[in-house]
């Protein structure tokens, strides 16, 4: 028997469940509203489930990273050290999902911060500050100096040529002294200086006291020497030509001062007075200039590698060398600013200079040798 359908049965079949009889409904609007509510409910559920299933691993990662920040890698057990990268990878995956399914912004920010801290904990340096310092002075600095050994020899040769040039010029014509040594650096030295003045007011001058020596004079010496060293290094990027000129000029200045003392018959006393700090000071300047030459060499003679790659490699070595140079210049400034005048004997000054030269030579030749490739 055929079922007869009319308007009532058609309306009732399209009306939503629980609809009031006789009332007309828009099926399109009703379905949209239901879809929006259906989407909102799963989103809230997904956010809750997302936190519930992963929150414990986040808290565990946060605990390990916080301990790593406060106490270092030594505070982690072998099992925790193995667990850390796994937790970090899980947090990275959680962050990617959080961004894709549009969870609340606060959770995304929390995960971004946690992933950043986890990255530093997993891939960051494993050494504490004092361990980094110890490794630098016991390995990185002497290795950098050995790497630059040929450049250092070239710089020393240029300096010696300048020294001989200045010495011969002033020895034959004392009036040319100020062509090589500016008035600001000459102090009491000059063509008219006598041996007594140079000995009493310079070479064997009394110690000026702790405050003047270490605070004023030593700071001035460190600043001046640092300018020479950093200019010598920095001009390596200008193909090394200004570096050569600076070293040659400084050699001429020292040669001119040596000539003035030689003309007064006190060459030995002057060299003893100079050597006690000069060993450390000149060696530091030679290393800085050699680092500049190393940069110039890698820039000019790139070989098969790209210039930027060469400069990046050379920059790492040069940075290690320059950090050590700063330490050496600070030490030289302290010696020149006070300890030199405490030793009133030329013999003692030569002894200290010889001991200093031996210590630096041993340090640069043998320290960190086991790590050389």
Cα–Cα distance list, 327 to 162, 270, 322, 332 (Å): 26, 25, 9, 9
CA distance 29 to 38: 14
CA distance 367 to 145: 11
pLDDT tens digits for range 239-291: 789 999 999 999 999 999 999 999 999 999 999 999 988 999 999 999 999 99
CA distance 76 to 304: 44
The residue among 329, 331, 320 whose CA lies nearest residue 367 is: 320
The dihedral sign for the CA sequence 129, 134, 137, 140 = negative
CA distance 142 to 324: 9
Tokens linked to 180:
């090589």
Contact 126, 217 (CB under 8 A): no
The residue among 339, 357, 328, 361 whose CA lies nearest residue 229 is: 328
pLDDT tens digits for range 150-175: 999 999 999 999 999 999 999 999 98
CA distance 169 to 287: 27
Per-residue pLDDT, 40: 46
Contact 171, 262 (CB under 8 A): yes
Contact 207, 338 (CB under 8 A): yes
How deeply is 138 buried, as exposed, middle or buried, from its count of CB atoms within 10 A (0-12, 13-18, 19+)? middle
Per-residue pLDDT, 6: 43
- Say which residue the tokens 């010496």 belong to: 221
How deeply is 102 buried, as exposed, middle or buried, from its count of CB atoms within 10 A (0-12, 13-18, 19+)? exposed
Per-residue pLDDT, 218: 62
What are the per-10-residue average pLDDT scores of the chain (373 residues)?
43 45 45 44 60 84 84 77 86 83 75 86 69 86 93 96 96 90 72 85 74 58 79 83 93 93 93 91 94 84 62 73 91 78 86 95 90 55
Buried b (16+ CB within 10 A) or exposed e, 172-195: eebeebeebbeeeebeebbeebee
Give the Cβ contact number of residue 279 at 10 Å.
Answer: 23
Task: Domain ranges for the chain, please list them.
Answer: 33-123, 133-366
CA distance 33 to 37: 6
Tokens linked to 287:
């290393």
The dihedral sign for the CA sequence 299, 138, 223, 165 = negative
Contact 259, 172 (CB under 8 A): no
Buried b (16+ CB within 10 A) or exposed e, 307-339: eeebbeebeebbebbbebbeebbbbbbbbbbbb
Q: What is the DSSP letter of 2?
A: P
Which residues neighbour 373 within 8 Å (Cβ) at sequence distance 6 or greater?
none
Q: What is the DSSP letter of 251?
A: H
């Amino acid at each position: 028997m055929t079922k007869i359908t009319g308007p009532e049965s058609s309306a009732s079949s399209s009306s939503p469940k629980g609809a009031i009889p006789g009332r007309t409904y828009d099926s399109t609007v009703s379905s949209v509203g239901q879809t929006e509510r259906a989407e909102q409910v799963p989103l809230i559920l997904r956010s809750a489930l997302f936190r519930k299933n992963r929150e414990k691993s986040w808290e565990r990662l946060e605990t390990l990273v916080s301990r790593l920040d406060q106490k270092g890698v030594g505070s982690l057990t072998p099992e925790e050290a193995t667990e850390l990268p796994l937790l970090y990878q899980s947090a990275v995956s959680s962050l990617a999902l959080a961004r894709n399914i549009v969870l609340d912004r606060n959770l995304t920010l929390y995960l971004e911060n946690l992933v950043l801290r986890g990255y530093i904990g997993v891939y960051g340096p494993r050494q504490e500050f004092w361990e980094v310092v110890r490794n630098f002075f016991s390995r990185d600095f002497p290795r950098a100096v050995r790497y630059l050994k040929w450049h250092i020899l070239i710089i020393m040769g240029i300096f010696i040529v300048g020294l001989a040039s200045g010495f011969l010029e002033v020895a034959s014509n004392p009036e040319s002294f100020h062509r090589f040594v500016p008035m600001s650096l000459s102090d009491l030295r000059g063509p008219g200086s006598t041996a007594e003045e140079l000995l009493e007011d310079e070479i064997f001058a009394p110690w000026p006291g702790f405050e003047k020596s270490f605070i004023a004079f030593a700071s001035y010496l460190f600043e001046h020497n640092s300018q020479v060293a950093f200019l010598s290094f920095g001009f390596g990027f200008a193909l090394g030509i200004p570096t050569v000129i600076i070293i040659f000029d400084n050699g001429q200045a020292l040669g001119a001062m040596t000539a003035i003392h030689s003309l007064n018959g006190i060459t030995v006393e002057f060299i003893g007075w100079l050597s006690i700090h000069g060993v450390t000071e000149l060696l530091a300047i030679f290393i800085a200039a050699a680092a500049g030459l190393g940069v110039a060499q890698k820039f000019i003679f790139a070989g098969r590698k790209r210039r930027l790659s060469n400069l990046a490699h050379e920059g790492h070595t040069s940075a290690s060398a320059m950090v050590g140079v700063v330490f050496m210049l600070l030490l030289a400034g302290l010696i020149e600013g006070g300890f030199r005048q405490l030793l009133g004997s030329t013999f003692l000054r030569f002894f200290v200079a010889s001991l200093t030269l031996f210590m630096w030579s041993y340090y640069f030749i043998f320290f960190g040798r086991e790590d050389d490739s």
